[in-house]
């Protein structure tokens, strides 16, 4: 009953097999291996984007920070949700890779920023002078950090705003597959057709060991990517072990399949929680994670029975048993609906 | 007959098996898995350094740059060989991670810097003012970039100089195992007992997929390492796949065994080259790489017969057949003496 | 009737005379001139802080950014008001000089942050991990950007919080003299006795050409200041022209005298505005600047009559005459109560 | 007998008068004052460069570092002389403002780099990959740090090389006026007609208090200058005191006149040194500074008689009296030939 993180789960066997298969004698290093050509072609196919530039790195923070480095100048502001992973959970990596750009936070009560709020925070066009941070890229997270999923028209509205202002749009897609599975839409519709210029396409949380793709729908933005990646120490010499993972991940729609499993488990979990008198769901839970408020006593009982999840706002083991705390529960591809059922039966 | 790089070779099967074995359900993420505790303990044991701080990253550039970031201030100069990998082959990563420190180059005719030359380049103690870059860490590479190996007393002389001046000493040990195998010495003697404060301990070039240890013999230097690693995007969520590699690499002295194989292949290669009338060995070749001067016609013939190596100073396929060019030939653990024999018979 | 900025006003004649007098043949450069010794001694005397480290730079942004660079690590968050000059008006200089620290904004309805709000924004002690920005320095502005002035007990409460958490406290004192004049307190009471570790002590806005002092009440924080200032290009070779300004500024309490004049003009201005039926004062105006809401038609009339001030939220010359806009009016030392009277008579 | 530095000398009275005259009531701030328009026009006229972008800062290090920031990417190498001020005397400011570019040193026995040596150091066109620092701007100093002056054809050869390679050319003209005076050429011939893309045009060493112009002959390079200057904290609010200095400096060719005086003093000094049996001139002394080798006893005698100069390589007061040491002697505009005569009579 592991709900702590989709980062804590195992890799899918097909990914491991691909790595073993890639370990075949000497090969060209640093991304010039033939598997990388296949990965690039496959991503262009999936995204219906024949011009897209594609690069691989091993961590989501690296993907986000390197892409933002390509999009933002050091004197820019990057606009993102008040809950954004790039703001809270990347240890100032975006600031590091942009050379000191500022993150300007947009209120997002349910995890999603709106074009209107974004417009307000950026301020009137032309109002910023050289005293102020300049209007730089906008970054949205899909699936959001609170478990909600942007509808296509919400992304389009933000994309339209970005284009009208001459700003760029980045999507942090650490859980991109889960969003595609949730919306049942095409990857192209959720990205470049909606105005997204660059995407961090996650693999690690959804069954890989550690691989993320930086996908630039506007290839001009990627002009310096290879130099930035090397400078960041993120270029793998034995790069074939990254491309092998990504190739297997994309083969036969494994990536969508794993996301569907994770979402299905979460849907079952949410249904169970909704039916429980004590539980209060705090944000729309539309993909594979849910924030739920429960009394400390209940959380404690679940933990003692072997459940693992992250409590956001206090120690579940010590304190007033009636106090309500917020737990984040994440379902990864490997969890399975059975384990969810067991958990719900424990919850009672 | 792959001599292009020890980066182009395969991983050892034991490393792959360890990864597969580590893929066992949910585990704690970000380095708090139990395998990391075992790796830390094993490295402390091998280095006879119970206080050492140990962290894992996936690339050698990341290890070097993060360690130098811990040792150098942005207004410092880092002193290294004119051939140093950190100067020539890391895309300004050291400058990035130190916040803009300068690399000051020390002449090193055979790849090794000497304490005397280092002393001359740094200049008299106290002579630098706030106008100048401040005397920061010294970085040496063992095995050097030209294939030579520092003798222990050479390292000690540099370590003594560093200590006398209050500067720190870093060792780039991308081929540390090959140096240990070449000298037959203890890891402790080649590092902290000789004055080395921090070591980049390589695994990738010697049979791993991608893992390097940053080892701090002075734990105070590592105080910010975890924060720097996260900020650099180098913290793996599924960190167990790094620790599994390193654990297997260190188990039963696999690391030394693989290095011995690589060095043995190179010894055979060097002997063959020395016996050849056209070949001129350019630097002491004391571990697993050799720089050799040969006529273009000969290099071309070898390439056409299937040999792969890096030519430093020209196109081997086009130009005056008699012109001498310099080839770098690297032997990895998997090469084997048979393939060397085949190559030498081609050379004739 | 110049209310645009205290930056737009002239220097006091005594400052210019001091510069002319300092132009006396050859002198030691880079801050080792004797006038700097006198400046240091005088500041220590005024602040009753015999250990304070004192350095001069030419701009307020340089003073703030260099001091924050000494106080914050690149992975830290700096906590400041949502209105802070360092957030809005320094073109990402704080991010640049800290190597990429993040500014975390604290709500401040009247321009002042409170210890309670600050505590809430920083979050529980120990709750931040290496994923998050670390709790770095707190920066407050005195006089605030909205014209209010922190009372001593408000600064003390923030100082106590900082000390209890092991965080540092910086004061942006671009209008420090105006705050001292407003509170009638001692410089020591408003700074180190209240927990302030370092102060940007402004001269430029209050009658100098361009000079600010970076004052470190904890000298340990200043260990790298000289190196940081040089690296930032802020060390003047003919430094005597900075120290001459500061010496004259501090002589005979000129600094307080000029601030008193500016505050007196503003007091008169505020009284006049309060008496006007159309005017609405938006923030406590306790020193030398005031934010006032007036109908566009009125603002336009004043501008056409020769008044100069900054309109925050729209074009005063075009649009609905009845729409209310916010004007910022700043009184500098040279303005004089007569000109205020003339302005008020225009206002009618 | 002040030969220590042209930084240690006084400002010319005309500069001070201009500052006093500029102190006239309220004026627009931040460089939008009318005097800046006049400065811009005058520099365009002097340089016969109607498109040139012109900005003012207060220090030479700021001018150099900000210009290099506009020209170099963080992953570039900047190529400069082994004696370059930007390498040795700016406390890593170029690295800071470029975001971590590397300075690659070109041998320059007499202070001047040659196109041929430069070509060798940069290496064959196209030979650098993403592992290496990329070929960034070239920076030359005119007058050089050793007192020599590039002839026009030497600059043209470097300019041609830069253009052929697609690299940019910067000139550090801290002593630009002295070079113009030495060569008797037009500013245009020494800069953009010879291939120089941007110039640090010095005022401080030649009679100003503290002002330098960043002149971009290719205005595209200056696109971000205003943002970079603000981010560096180098934008003066009371900018009129910078433009007033520069306006007076350029009026009636004061700048050339002062440089001619300094050069004339140095010419006399060099003639006297050449006539002295003990003195050995170490580099071509073609403008206003000279490096001379003299026995310690002689240097000591001169110092004790009141002469002031910088001894490069040892303590002139203590040690073997016969040991030869190198003194740097700099003549500023205010020194005068009489004082040189007095010094030479002391030398005997």
pLDDT in tens, A309-332: 999 999 999 999 999 999 999 999
> For residue B155, is it within any domain?
yes
Residue A316 sits in the same domain as residue A218: no
Q: What was the pLDDT predicted at D1?
A: 75
Question: Which run of H or of E encompasses B226?
Answer: helix B225-231
Contact C233 D232 (CB under 8 A): yes
Whether residue D185 sits in one domain with residue D134: yes
Instruction: Report the pLDDT value the prediction gives residue A26, as an integer from 0 to 100.
Output: 87
Mind telling me how many Å the CA of A157 is from chain B's nearest CA? 31
- Domain contains C7: no
In whole numbers, what is the pLDDT of chain A averaged over residues?
96
Q: Is residue A8 part of a domain?
A: no
Angle at A186 between CA A182 and CA A191, to 5 degrees: 95
Looking at residue A246, its pLDDT comes to 98
Picking from B65, B84, B89, B91 by the largest number of D CB atoms within 10 A of its own CB, the best residue to mutate is B91
Q: Structure tokens of C127?
A: 């709750």
> What pLDDT shows up at residue C330?
96
The pLDDT assigned to B91 comes to 98
Q: What is the model's pLDDT at position D295? A: 97
C-alpha–C-alpha distance, residues A166 and C272, integer Å: 44
D336 chain-C contacts, CB cut-off 8 A: none
Q: Are residues D209 and D236 in the same domain?
A: yes
Q: What is the mean pLDDT of residues A229-252?
A: 97
Residues D213 and D73 in one domain: yes
Whether pLDDT at A1 is above 80: no
Residue B129's pLDDT band, with cuts at 50, 70 and 90, is very high
Tokens, residue A85: 């992973």
User: Residue A106's beta-bridge partner residues?
Assistant: A81
My answer on whether A91 and A157 are in the same domain is yes
Tokens at A165, concatenated: 């202002």
Average pLDDT of the residues in A284-313: 96
Query: What's the predicted TM-score (pTM) here?
Result: 0.97
Last residue of a domain, one of A210, A239, A254: A254
B347 Cβ neighbours under 8 A, 6+ residues apart: B272, B273, B276, B279, B298, B302
**CB-CB contact of B318 with B303 (8 Å):** no
Within-domain flag for B188: yes
The list of chain C residues with pLDDT below 70 reads none
Residue B26: what pLDDT? 87
Picking from D190, D199, D184, the residue whose alpha carbon sits closest to that of residue D137 is D199
- pLDDT at position A306 is 93
Kindly tell me if the per-residue pLDDT of D126 is higher than 90: no
Q: Is position D245 within any domain?
A: yes
Residue B7 pLDDT? 85
Shared domain check, C341 and C222:
no
Long-range pairs of C302-308 with CB within 8 A, sequence gap ≥ 24: C302/C1, C302/C343, C302/C346, C302/C347, C305/C1, C305/C346, C306/C1, C307/C1, C307/C3, C307/C343, C307/C346, C308/C1, C308/C2, C308/C3, C308/C4, C308/D26
DSSP sequence for C137-149: EEEEESS-TTS--
ipTM associated with this complex: 0.97
Identify residues of A whose CB sits under 8 angstroms from chain D CBs. Answer: 73-75, 99-100, 130-131, 134, 224, 226-228, 230-231, 235
Do C170 and C313 fall within a single domain? no
Reference D201, options D171, D169, D234; nearest CA is D171
Could you read off the pLDDT of A58-93 as tens digits, one per residue?
999 999 999 999 999 999 999 999 999 999 999 999
pLDDT mean over B116-137: 95
> What percentage of residues in chain D have a pLDDT greater than 90?
93
Q: Given pLDDT bands bounded at 50, 70 and 90, which one contains residue B6?
A: confident
In the predicted structure, residue B1 carries a pLDDT above the cut 80: no
Q: Among residues D252, D267, D298, which one ends one of the domains?
A: D252
The CATH number that applies at residue C308 is 3.90.1150.10
* Confidence at residue C173, expressed as pLDDT on a 0 to 100 scale: 98
**């294939």: which residue's tokens?**
B147
Give the pLDDT confidence score for residue B8 in this predicted structure: 85
Q: How many CA atoms lie within 13 A of D302 on its CB side?
A: 26
**CA B263/CA B285 separation, integer angstroms:** 10
Please check whether residue C122 is in contact with residue C165, taking contact to mean a CB–CB distance below 8 angstroms: yes
Give the pLDDT of residue C208: 98
Q: Is residue A175 part of a domain?
A: yes
**Rounded average pLDDT over B26-43:** 93
| D266 in the same domain as D243 | no
Residue of A3, A29, A92, A237 to mutate, testing the B interface (most B Cβ within 10 Å of its Cβ): A237
Residue A83's nearest CA partner among A147, A152, A169, A137 is A147
Residue D213 lies in a domain: yes
Q: What is the pLDDT of residue D332?
A: 95
Nearest CB among D92, D99, D101 relative to B75 is that of D92
Q: Residue B29's pLDDT is what? A: 85
CA distance B229 to chain C (A): 9
Residue D294's domain comprises: 255-347
Specify the range with the lowest mean pLDDT, choosing from A14-18, B28-32, B246-250, D277-281: B28-32
Substitution target in D231, D233, D234 with the highest count of A β-carbons within 10 Å is: D231
pLDDT digits (tens, 9 = 90+) for D278-327: 999 999 999 999 999 999 999 999 999 999 999 999 999 999 999 999 99
CA distances from A36 to A30, A213, B8, B140, C164 (A): 10, 11, 15, 34, 53
Euclidean distance between CA atoms C126 and C108, whole angstroms: 25
D134 pLDDT more than 90 = yes
- From residue A4, give the alpha-carbon distance in Å to each of A308, B203, D77: 6, 31, 46
- Regarding whether D184 and D60 lie in a shared domain, the answer is yes
**How far is residue A181 from each of residues A40, A143, C260, D199, measured CA to CA in Å?**
22, 10, 67, 57
Please tell me the distance from the alpha carbon of residue B316 to that of residue B326, in angstroms, as a whole number.
9
Instruction: Note if the bond before D143 is cis, omega within 30 degrees.
Output: yes
| Residue C4 belongs to a domain | no
Same domain, C286 and C226: no
Query: Does pLDDT of A164 surpass 80?
Result: yes
What confidence tens digit (pLDDT) does each residue in B92-121 have? 999 999 999 999 999 999 999 999 999 999
Quick check: C29 and D5 CB within 8 A?
yes
Task: Determine, for residues D236 and C58 on separate chains, whether the beta-carbon distance falls below 8 Å.
Answer: yes
pLDDT, position A112: 98
A289 in the same domain as A199: no
Q: What pLDDT does residue D5 have?
A: 86
Q: CA–CA separation, A11 vs A34, rounded Å?
A: 23
β-strands D53-57, D76-81 pairing: unpaired
CATH number assigned to the domain comprising residue C190: 3.40.640.10
CB D312 within 8 A of CB D291: yes
- Tokens 């729309």 label which residue? A284
C-alpha distance from A60 to closest chain D C-alpha (Å): 22
* One domain for residues C241 and C259: no
Among residues B252, B274, B290, the one where a domain terminates is B252
Strand ranges of the sheet holding C280-281, from the earlier edge strand across to the other edge: C280-281, C289-295, C324-330, C310-311
- Residue A225's pLDDT band, with cuts at 50, 70 and 90, is very high
pLDDT the model gives residue D26: 87
Q: What is the pLDDT of residues D34-51, one digit of tens each?
A: 999 999 999 999 999 999
Q: Does the pLDDT of residue A148 top 90, yes or no?
A: yes
Number of structural domains in chain A: 2
Contact indicator for C182, C212 with CB cutoff of 8 Å: no
**Residue C291 CB neighbours (<10 A):** 20
User: Cβ contacts (< 8 Å) between D235 and chain A: which residues?
Assistant: 130
State mean pLDDT over D331-348: 93
User: Are A102 and C95 inside 8 Å of each other by CB?
Assistant: yes
If phi > 0 it is left, if psi is from -120 to 50 it is alpha, else beta; for residue D126 that is left
């Amino acid at each position: 009953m592991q709900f702590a993180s989709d980062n804590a789960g195992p890799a899918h066997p097909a990914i491991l097999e691909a790595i073993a298969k890639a370990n075949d004698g000497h090969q060209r290093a640093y991304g010039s291996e033939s598997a990388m050509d296949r990965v690039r072609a496959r991503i262009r196919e999936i995204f219906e984007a024949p011009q897209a530039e594609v690069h691989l790195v091993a961590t989501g923070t690296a993907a986000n920070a390197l892409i933002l480095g390509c999009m933002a100048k050091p004197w820019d502001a990057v606009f993102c949700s008040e809950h954004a992973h790039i703001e809270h959970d990347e240890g100032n990596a975006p600031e590091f890779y942009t050379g000191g750009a500022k993150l300007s936070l947009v209120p997002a009560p349910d995890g999603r920023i709106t074009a209107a709020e974004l417009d307000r925070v950026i301020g009137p066009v032309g109002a910023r002078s050289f005293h102020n941070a300049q209007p730089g890229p906008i970054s949205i997270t899909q699936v959001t950090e609170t478990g909600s999923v942007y509808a296509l028209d919400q992304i389009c509205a933000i994309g339209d705003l970005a284009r009208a202002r001459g700003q760029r749009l980045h999507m942090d897609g650490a859980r991109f597959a889960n969003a595609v599975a949730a919306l049942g839409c095409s990857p192209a519709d959720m990205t470049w057709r909606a105005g997204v210029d660059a995407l961090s396409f996650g693999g690690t949380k959804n069954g890989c060991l550690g691989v993320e793709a930086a996908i630039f729908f506007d290839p001009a933005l990627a002009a310096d990517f290879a130099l930035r990646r090397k400078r960041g120490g993120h270029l793998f010499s034995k790069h074939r072990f990254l491309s092998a993972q990504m190739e297997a991940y994309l083969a036969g729609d494994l990536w969508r399949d794993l996301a569907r499993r994770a979402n299905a488990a979460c849907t079952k979990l949410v249904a169970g929680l909704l039916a429980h008198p004590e539980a209060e769901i705090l944000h729309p839970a539309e993909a594979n994670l849910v924030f739920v408020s429960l009394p400390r006593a209940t959380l404690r009982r679940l933990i003692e029975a072997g459940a693992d999840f992250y409590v956001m706002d206090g120690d579940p083991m010590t304190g007033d048993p009636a106090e309500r705390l917020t737990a984040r529960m994440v379902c990864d591809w490997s969890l399975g609906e059975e384990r969810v059922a067991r958990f719900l039966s424990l919850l009672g």
